[in-house]
Structure 1
Amino acid sequence: MSHTGAQGPDARTQAIVRELATVRARAEQDHHVGEPGLYSRVMVIVDGNVPSEGDAEHCYLTPVAAPRSGQGYYTLTAKDGAQRPPEISPDEAKLSQSDSEVAVLLEAYEWITDQGLQVATESIEVILISNIGPCTGCKARLQIFYGDLLAAAGEVGSKVLITVESIYNTPEASRNRTRGNQIPTTYGYPDSVATPYTVLGQQGTYWRYQLPQLH
């Protein structure tokens, strides 16, 4: 199935709800002991074109990434990768370096810089969809990713509007946890917005946080 041209907000909401269900089903399928890990994928909507599985020409869905699948540029630990911001401790960066967001952000960045910026004429919406909100380290990675996209757009002279969001559907907006050797982290954004929906007779709510627009 593929997109059928620019679509409205209903198609966008339907796609978000569909992918939340996809990510959650994958997490439950792989879950064995304790709480499910954090699974994620990125939806890239270009000029209002909402992707379905397999779309890669005018819009894009990354594969669903599992915990411990992240590697490469956004680990915040690689010498030739994104630099760790001072508010993220070395322990936090190391503990979260293989999180699923690390994988999908790199996948999305590569598609957007290879294809998305060439086809976009008005806007690129990047939506990180996960069963749990991003941890402290991955929130920093998402911010770095946003800056990288704007820099890439500037390099090719693109003036399209680029926005980045995080969407997830835990009961609460955020939760405080410890990882590894009692390293504190916060999953999700405390100031995210509860967003109700009705899709095909199904009602529910997800959390939505849009990163402040950068220039």
Structure 2
Amino acid sequence: MSTSTPHSHDPLDQVVVQALTDVHAQHQGLFTQVLVMVDSDVSFDDANSYRTAVKAAGSGGEERYSLTSASKGAHPRPSGISADEARLSSRDSEVAALQDAYDWIEGQGTQLQNVRTIHVLVVSNIGPCDACKKRLEYFCDDVVRLFDKHVEVMVDSVYDTAAAGTTMNRSGFDSTYGYSGATACTTASGKKFWRLRQEFRPKS
């Protein structure tokens, strides 16, 4: 994991801090919330930006990001993720949260005029497992395709558990929660968190 700790003065500071607070308010377990901002709108009014409910582990199961479904529109299990790992993680909190966010972007987001940027924060108390990292990659690609590759898309995995980035055994197989290459950040208010960004920029 990156050891640099740049102080963040990004206007998203307050958004990140509030989302992490909401996630930790759930107490025990693994939780995820996804925030979608169109052209930097942070009103979360469901018209120009969107915030999912905080999803708990066990709330997943939606087919698109399960990695276990053969239904139309569902993503296949990628190489490097075993069938057991895909099945065991298919109800992880990221699965339901990503589906919720995708549904809003597909429905409302694509109806907005002159969209230039889509910025998504996938906020959790601990970073995604290896299977959920692939789900985030699929999600980013999905959003890019929804806008026919004409819109800048940023998908940030944000979490604040210091132990993330280490490999742990999960029901018989090893999985790494969080990213070894994540950047350590500090908000202006002193809140520490880690961020890994996936980004697509349209060709000029």
The normalised TM-score by structure 2 is 0.88
Q: Which residue of 2 aligns with 1:177?
A: 168
Amino acid aligned to 1:70: G
Give the ranges of 4+ consecutive aligned residues of structure 1 lying more than 2 Å apart after TM superposition: 212-215
How far apart in 2 are the matches of 1:98 and 1:124? 26
Matching residue's letter, 1:38: L
Mapped pair 1:160 → 2:132? no
- The answer to whether 1:38 aligns with 2:30 is yes
Tell me if 1:111 matches 2:104. yes
| Alpha-carbon distance in structure 1 between the residues aligned to 2:61 and 2:53 | 15
Any idea what SS the aligned residue of 1:82 has?
coil
Q: Which has the higher helix share?
A: 1
Distance between the aligned counterparts of 1:40 and 1:187, measured in 2?
13
Stretches of structure 2 that go unaligned for 5 or more consecutive residues are 1-8
Distance 1:178 1:63 in 2: 28
Specify which structure has the bigger relative contact order, considering alpha-carbon pairs within 8 angstroms and separated by 6 or more residues: 2
Distance 2:43 2:11 in 1: 10
Contact 1:173 1:192 in 2 (8 A): no
On the 8 A contact 2:184/2:192 being kept in 1, the answer is: yes
Aligned length: 190
CA RMSD of aligned residues (A): 1.6
The whole-number CA distance in structure 2 between the counterparts of 1:162 and 1:148 is 10
1:129 to 123, 126, 134: 123
Superimposed CA distance per residue, residues 96-154 of structure 1 (whole angstroms, 9 cap, x where no aligned partner): 00000000100000101111122252111011000010000000000011111112211
Aligned equivalent of 2:132: 138
Find out whether 1:150 has 2:148 as its counterpart.
Answer: no
The TM-score with structure 1 as length reference comes to 0.84
Amino acid at match of 2:42: V
Cα distance in structure 2, aligned partners of 1:142 and 1:51: 24
The alignment partner of 2:56 has SS state of coil
